[in-house]
Structure 1
Amino acid sequence: MTDDNYTKILFRLHSTILEEITVETMWATVVNEAEGLYKLENIPFYLPLLAANDIVFAEYDEDEQMLTYRETIEYSGHSTVHVILMDETTDIKNVGKIFEELGCNWEGLNNKYFAMDIPALIDYRLVQARLQELKDKDVIDFAESSLAEGHQH
């Protein structure tokens, strides 16, 4: 994502996945530059309570030397789930494909860990059932890092 419409935003937040302060950068598009509003364009790997398409307020930070997240202005209705493969023989692409078929998107960090975006209109109960099924078979473990209101049942 090197297009002029994209910019990177730095996030420095406590990660519920890593259980420590984490720095992560995410791609965003400008919604209103004068007001510091940006739409997140990728899926957070470690950060809690954030999802693709959320609108955030960010401003240039002298210490960080880049645009830095300050607060979430509008939640997109998307959810973020983090998945780790527990079975060494399982191919991450095969697991990701299961969720693609349910309408989800995912980004792999390595061959054992990925972040998954569940769009607002997807029935999360179907996704959650597959997640739980794979967890029960010791194929994966997962964390529901940011569940949108529409996905909480």
Structure 2
Amino acid sequence: MTENSEKILVRYFSNILDEIVVETLWTNIIDKSKGLYEIDNIPFYGPEFSCGDIVFAEYDKAEERITFREVVKSSGNSTVQVIILDENINVENLRNEFNALGCESEGTGNNYFVMEVLYNQNYSQIFNKLTELENTDKISFAEPNISQKHLDEK
């Protein structure tokens, strides 16, 4: 990353994993003296914020690093988690399909990825595709952080 970047630690309960998760995320430093950082990658397992959100983080002695405390300003972006249930589906091909709809994604393994839905994107086509795949038992998906704008577009 750049000298204006910083990794912060986030500890939260993940509904996907059904356990406490520790994740480090890249951020852009907004104002280090005030503890303000902009999340710069897609969270994997479901904290209640998305890429582009401004958060407050501070050094935590127990964690021995800068640690997330709260969201200061939401970007309006949403995060969607996708688990592939059908072993005949290629994860990269599916990620490319959603990329064509404007969703960047990050994956781990052969059956799980997270997508970012930008605020200015219309969610209805993306949601319809997700729902179609879920209704045919090809995937399961969750919306750990969905903006009100995207909820209204379903």
Q: TM-score, normalised by structure 1?
A: 0.96
Equivalence for 2:23: 24
Q: Pairwise mapping of residues 49-60 of structure 1 onto structure 2 (< 5 A)?
A: 49-60=48-59
Deviations 1:5-48 (A, max 9, x none): 21111011111222221111111010011100000000010123
Q: In the alignment, which residue of structure 1 is the partner of 2:79?
A: 80
Read off the aligned partner of 2:75 and give its amino acid letter: S
Return the alpha-carbon distance in structure 2 between the equivalents of residues 14 and 98 of structure 1: 30
Gapped regions of structure 1 (runs ≥ 5): none
1:114 corresponding residue in structure 2: 113
Q: Which amino acid aligns with 2:106?
A: E
Q: Distance in 2 between matches of 1:137 and 1:97?
A: 19
The residue type equivalent to 1:38 in the other structure is Y
* Residue aligning to 1:146: 145
3-state SS of paired residue (1:128): helix
Native 8 Å contact 1:22 1:47 kept in 2: no
Could you list the structure 1 runs, at least 4 aligned residues long, displaced by more than 6 angstroms after superposition: none
Amino acid in the other structure paired with 2:59: Y
Q: CA deviation at 1:3?
A: 2.4
Q: Tell me the matched-pair count.
A: 152
8 Å CA contact 1:15, 1:22 repeated in 2: yes
Q: Look up the equivalent residue of 1:28 and give its one-letter code.
A: T
Alignment RMSD (CA, Å): 1.0
TM superposition shift of 1:106: 0.3
Identical-pair percentage:
43
Q: Which runs of 5+ in 2 are unaligned?
A: none
Q: After alignment, is 76-85 or 44-53 more displaced?
A: 44-53
- Secondary structure (helix, strand or coil) at the match of 2:87 reads coil
- TM-score normalised over the length of structure 2: 0.95
Aligned match of 2:101: 102
